[in-house]
Amino acid sequence: MARTLAELPAGSRITDYISLGVIAKFFPVEKIREVLEQTNRASIRERNLPAHVVVYYVIALALYMRSSYREVLRCLLEGVQWLLDPSAKVKVAGKSGISQARSRLGAEPLKKLYAAVVAPIAGKRTKGAWYRHWRLVSLDGSTLDVADTAENDQAFGRPGSSRGSSAFPKIRFVALLENGTHVLWGAHMDRYSTDELTLSEKVIPLLSKGMLCMADRFFPSYKLWRTAAQTGADLLWRTRQNARLDVDNRLPDGSYLSRIYASSGDRRKKRNGIVVRVIDYHLKNVADAEPIYRLITTILDPQQAPAKELAALYHERWEIETTLDELKTHLRGAQIVLRSKTPELVRQEFFGLLMAHFAIRGLMHDAALNADGDPDRLSFVHSVHVQRRMTHYGSVLPRQRKAFRQAILDETLEERVVSSRNRINPLRREAKDE
């Protein structure tokens, strides 16, 4: 049977159809064009790589960290090549042209797009996203290696080591995590020497009423706690076990009310103290456990959240460590640095990486809702593999989104079966040997 030749509509350009497959669901071209207009980065004249295409391209770089610049662009172009005459050749810009296009775009549109789109997505049906009526979120920071260039070194710095300095410059960032969906939102980045408390001051205002924010013992400070509490969110932060927290009132569940102060002088005069509820607990029969763990919270009524429940809940903060591993190991790739050679393009690539992670996690959330499951039960690694295979289809074949969700579920199930077999087989071999 003869093949009917598919063609682009009259007057169309191939770049009008380029997208990142199912990622376009979360970053539609209309929203990208809006951000480009707001930042004065929209293409004035038609180019081989107009600004909206470069935005999608930067996100694609995060999906194909092991591929060359031109190979990533080729992946985008091949997605709509089936619309053209099979004998037609799609022009792939050279490395210099790609670099110039990225430099014209800059980092601001990517940063603004990230801030406008990436946010908590869990609904009431999302399993693992809620504690009672609170949406669970976590606060933490990390670092990323960037390309070893003089410009990056000057802009971001690098940590010292026993033999001088580390191999690569680094950026530091702090972000909020929606625990149930692993969505990283509100991220701010800066040079390596910027401490996490300073970056947190820019992130904390994004908290809101109805959230329960968890953080580790390096974050509690009078100023940051006051700022976070003023957002209306509730807080559950670990603090140092030797922090001075006098018992003002012992509560029925074993927790007690105390106050934190900005300085020792304020403490002596009992001035400007903030009331907190303190929960002390220890872990039995756990190797290497610390003698005592201490949490402070803004939830003062033990009937609203009993101490035992909050102590058990705090381990959910480690979800952000898992998410950072997804970002730095499974999506970016272990021992791979951000490839951009200039500080502006490093910032651009950073937000592209976060948006790629958001799109994958968002689609995993959709798949979990369709299967009435927990997003945590799905495999992020297999979701990335599925996304890479199906990058081409999102803008021209919307039905492929359903196939993507099913592929995530199928491959996660397959991974569990293989894992189970790997656990059983050694036992079978031992029985056979006996």
pLDDT digits (tens, 9 = 90+) for 243-269: 889 999 999 999 999 999 999 898 998
Give the chain's residues under pLDDT 70: 1-22, 44-48, 77-92, 162, 164, 388-434
Neighbours of 393 (CB within 10 A): 21
CB of 241 within 8 A of CB of 293? yes
In angstroms, the CA 287 to CA 56 distance is 47
The per-residue pLDDT for 434 is 33
DSSP 206: G
Q: How far apart are the first and last CA of the chain?
A: 61
**Predicted local distance difference test score (pLDDT) of residue 422:** 40
- Determine contact, residues 278/255, Cβ cutoff 8 Å: yes
pLDDT at 190: 97
DSSP 6: P
Token pair 């971001």 in the structure block, residue:
156
Q: Compute the distance between CA of residue 53 and CA of residue 50 in angstroms, rounded to an integer.
A: 6
Residues 401, 388: Cα–Cα separation, whole Å? 13
Q: How far apart are CA 218 and CA 133, in angstroms?
A: 27
Q: What per-residue confidence (pLDDT) applies to 408?
A: 57
Nearest 5°: CA angle at 346, between 170 and 215?
55
Alpha-carbon span 63 to 330, nearest angstrom? 10
CA separation for the pair 18, 137 (Å, rounded): 34
* Beta carbons of 294 and 241 less than 8 angstroms apart: yes
* Dihedral sign, Cα of residue 213, residue 214, residue 215, residue 217: positive
Condensed to tens digits (0 to 9), the pLDDT of residues 171-182 reads 999 999 999 999
279: region left, alpha or beta (phi > 0 left; psi from -120 to 50 alpha): beta
Residues 6+ apart with CB under 8 A from 147: 168, 169, 337, 338, 339, 340, 341, 346
Cα–Cα distance measured from residue 272 to residue 262, given in angstroms and rounded to the nearest whole number: 8
Number of Cβ within a 10 Å radius of residue 133: 9
User: Tell me, what's the pLDDT at 250?
Assistant: 96
Give yes or no for a contact between 65 and 112, defined as CB atoms under 8 angstroms apart.
no
Rounded CA separation 425/422 (Å)? 5
Per-residue tokens: 401: 């989104």
pLDDT at 411: 55
CA distance 199 to 202: 6
How far apart CA 173 and CA 81 sit, in angstroms, is 38
β-bridge pairing 234-239 and 211-215: parallel
What does the block give as tokens for 371? 């299967």
Alpha carbon distance 419, 28 (integer Å) = 37
